[in-house]
Amino acid sequence: MSELETTLQKEVKRRRTFAIISHPDAGKTTLTEKLLLYGGAIHLAGAVRAKANQRSTTSDWMEIERQRGISISTSVLQFEYNGYVINLLDTPGHKDFSEDTYRTLMAADAAVMLIDAAKGVEPQTRKLFEVCRMRGIPIFTFINKMDRPSREPLDLLDELEKILGIRSCPMTWPIGSGDRFRGVYDRNTQEILFFQKDTENKGKKIQAKKMQGVDDPEFLKSLAGDKEDTYEAKELYDQFKSELELLEVAGDTFDWDRVLHGQLSPVFFGSAMNTFGVEQFLNRFIELAPTPAPRVTKEPSASGEIKAGDEVPPTSPKYTSFIFKIQANMDPSHRDRVAFMRICSGHFERNMIVKHTRLEKDVKLAMPVSFFGQERVVVEEAWPGDVIGLVDTNGSFRIGDTLTAIKGIEFTGVPSFSPEHFASVIIMDPMKRKQLTKGLEQLSEEGVVQIYRQRGMGDKDPVLGAVGALQFEVLQHRLAAEYGVETKIDKLPYVHCRWVTGPINADQFSRREDSLGLVDRDDNPVLLFKSDWALRYATDNYKDLQFLTTAPAKKA
C-alpha cells in the first residue's frame, strides 16, 4: 500500500460529516455551540450565531440577512474531537429556508435530527427528514429541552414512527422532565447521568453513576438524593421503570446495519442549553456515524475502468469531488461567487489541477478557502468528507459539477427539489427584457430559483419556483445589482409542484382551476397545485403517472 493510501485510510476513518436538521427554535444554534465546546474549532465558516449586530462587514448579501435578521449562508464548521475530524454542515435556518438547505444534505453522510421535547416533530424537520430519507443516510435523534416541561418520551417516539415513518431505538432514556428532570439513563452502559444546569456554559464533565441495572436499589436512593420525602423520587422511578420495561418488550433492538441505512434512528435525550447529554451524544455519535460514504457515478470514466453506477470509495487515491452549492457576493469587495465542494476521494492539495467533467477541461484549484467568521482562510490540503469553498470568478462551476482526477466520470447530480412558493416576475422597464431573460437564465442555473415555462411559449411569462420565499428576494436583489433590472414579484397561489413521468397530458391539468401544467428548464413536465386536495386528487385519479418531489435526472 502506498503512503498516500495509508494516510487516506487513516484520514477517512477519523472523519464524520453531518448536518443538523430541525425546525426553527428547537435549539440548533445552541447545540452547535455546545458541540464546539468539546472540540477545538479548526474552521468556522460564518459565525455560528449569526446575530446581525455582531457583523463588522456587510455585503449586499449580508444586508438582506441583516434586514431580515436571519442567516442565509450555509456554513461549514470543522472541529477536532478525540482525534476525530468533524465537519458540521450548517443548514440555513429560520423561517425562510431555501433549496440550499436541501442541497447541503446531499453533501452530508449523516443527519442529526433535533427535536424540541415539548413540540415533537415540526413541519421543517419533516421536510428535511424526507430529503435524508431519499438519500438513505443515517439519522440520529437528539430530543432537546428536557429541562422544560416535555411531552411523554414514548409519545415522541411514537410520533417519529407515525409522522416520519422511522423506527427508533433510544440509547438513553430520560428520568422526568421540566422541574422534575433528574437526568438520563444510558441503556447500554447502565449509567445514570444526573442533570445539572450549566449556568456557566462551560460544558463541564458530568460524572456518570454506574448502576447494576434499573432494579439496583441505589437507583431510587440516588433519585431521592438527601431528601427526606422520597415520594416524588418513587413516583419518577416507577414511571421511568415502567417506560423502560415497555421499551425492552415493544421497542426495537439496536441494529447498526439498520441505523446505517436510515431505517432505525438512535435517540438521545438532553438539554443543549445546559450542555447536558451533549457529550454523551457526541461520543456515541462519532462511534456510530459512518465514515465518508462512497459516491455513485452516473457517467463512466474515459478509460472504461469505472462504469456508470459504480461507487468510488473515499479511500481511492484518485481525487474526486462535486459542487453542491454556489453562493454569490459573499465578499463585499469582490462581486464573486463561491462554489462549495465536497471531497469524495483522494487527497486535495491547493493548486492541484483537476478535470471539470461538464466543461471537458482542466481547472486549477488555486483559491480553495474556508471561512472564519467573515475572514477567508486559504486551505492547503483536505481529505474525503471535507468541504471547501472555491472562489469562482469566471462562473465555471454549477451545482452538481464533478471535479476529479479521473477523466470522464460524473457523479449522480444534486437534484432540483420541489418548490412550495411560486411567483411571476414583472419587469419595471420593458426595455430591459433581454437582461431579465439573461439574468433569470443564469441565476436559475446557479440554483437561486427554479424556472418553469409553458410548453411552446419560449421565454415568455416564466413561473418562478422556490423552496423558501426568501429566494425570491435574493433573486430580485441580484437581478437589480448584477443585471440592472428592477422587478416586481407577484406571488402565485400554488403550493405544490411535482415532476411527472408517464403518459401525461398537461393541458388536462391546465384546464382545471386548481392545477397548471408546465415544463422545467430541461423540458421535464411539471404540475403545480393550489392545495393539498388538488394534489391528492391528481395522484388518486392518474394512477399511470408518477408524481416526483425531485426532478428526474437530466436528459443527455
Local structure of residue 263 (DSSP, 8 states)? S
Q: Does 271 bind ligand G4P (CB under 6 A)?
A: yes
User: Which residues make Cβ contacts (< 8 Å) with residue 234, sequence separation at least 6?
Assistant: 220, 224
Q: Does 148 bind ligand G4P (CB under 6 A)?
A: yes
Residue 61's closest CA among 477, 482, 376?
477
Q: Does 410 bind ligand G4P (CB under 6 A)?
A: no
CA 135, distance to chain mean position in Å, is 11
Contacts with ligand G4P, 26-55, as mask; x by CB under 6 A: xxxxx-------------------------
Among 9, 25, 441, 482, which residue sits at the site for ligand G4P (rule: CB under 6 A)? 25
Segment contacting ligand G4P by CB under 6 A, of 67-75, 163-171, 265-273, 352-360: 265-273
Distance (Å, whole) CA 368 – CA 376: 9
Site size with ligand G4P, rule: CB under 6 A:
17
Segment contacting ligand G4P by CB under 6 A, of 21-29, 57-65, 151-159, 342-350: 21-29
User: Which residues make Cβ contacts (< 8 Å) with residue 473, sequence separation at least 6?
Assistant: 64
* Crossing angle between the packed helical segments 60-68 and 470-483, to the nearest 10 degrees: 150
What is the chain's alpha carbon radius of gyration, rounded to the nearest angstrom?
25
Segment contacting ligand G4P by CB under 6 A, of 145-153, 348-356, 415-423, 522-530: 145-153
Contact 549, 498 (CB under 8 A): yes
Segment contacting ligand G4P by CB under 6 A, of 139-147, 210-218, 427-435, 450-458: 139-147
Q: Does 275 bind ligand G4P (CB under 6 A)?
A: no
Distance between start and end Cα atoms, the chain: 38
Segment contacting ligand G4P by CB under 6 A, of 20-28, 124-132, 172-180, 490-498: 20-28
* Crossing angle between the packed helical segments 278-288 and 28-38, to the nearest 10 degrees: 80
Nearer to ligand G4P, 29 or 402 (CB): 29
User: Which residues make Cβ contacts (< 8 Å) with residue 121, sequence separation at least 6?
Assistant: 115, 129, 159, 160, 163, 164
Nearer to ligand G4P, 30 or 450 (CB): 30
Q: Does 120 bind ligand G4P (CB under 6 A)?
A: no
Amino acid 167 reads R
Among 9, 12, 24, 68, which residue sits at the site for ligand G4P (rule: CB under 6 A)? 24
Output the CA torsion sign for 32, 36, 37, 38. Answer: positive
Contacts with ligand G4P, 216-255, as mask; x by CB under 6 A: ----------------------------------------
Q: Does 93 bind ligand G4P (CB under 6 A)?
A: yes
Segment contacting ligand G4P by CB under 6 A, of 152-160, 268-276, 438-446, 542-550: 268-276
Amino acid 513 reads E
Look up residue 446 and give its three cell numbers.
446557479
Minimum distance from residue 148 beta carbon to ligand G4P (Å): 5
Binding residues for ligand G4P, per CB under 6 A? Answer: 22, 24-30, 93, 144-145, 147-148, 271-274
